[in-house]
Chain A
Amino acid sequence: MSKRLRIVTICGCGVGSSVMLKVNLEEVLKKVGLEADIVPADVTTAYGEKCDIVITQEVFKHALKGATYKEVIFLKNLASKKELEEKLIPVLQKMGYIQPS
């Protein structure tokens, strides 16, 4: 718990959606008062990545092979902050980073 959270966001190239996701993620984390290292990655370089949470889309599921992580969140809509918040908060509570409300 004391360790700083590391979250990897994955999209096809690691330059578009995953960077946009990082921006949304920062806003959601700020709301709950958490700080994290957020690393955008692409499906190729996610190989060998170590982190606490992976956030990506179902279509990039295959990229998770070779990555080490504790939790994974699949988003239907990469651009939706609402969906991100709804799926991320329960995961953070389960991992003990925030108190259940």
Chain B
Amino acid sequence: MYRDGFRELEVGRRLWLIVIVKVAIIVTLALTLFPNYLNEAYDTDADRAAHVLDALTPAATEVAP
């Protein structure tokens, strides 16, 4: 149904070209520019939890809202 449908598109192939290019750009940008901060920096959940606990327990004067 998809194959036949795409062949008979009335709205225009230009639209689907935009969709494909857009998704490719978004996924590429997301994968290259948006690494998972905690997964990149730490190997285990225990280390990630420790990092977040450190963030949650600073000296009060260090935290800017």
A binds B: no
Which A residues lie at the B interface, using CB under 8 A? none
Which B residues lie at the A interface, using CB under 8 A? none
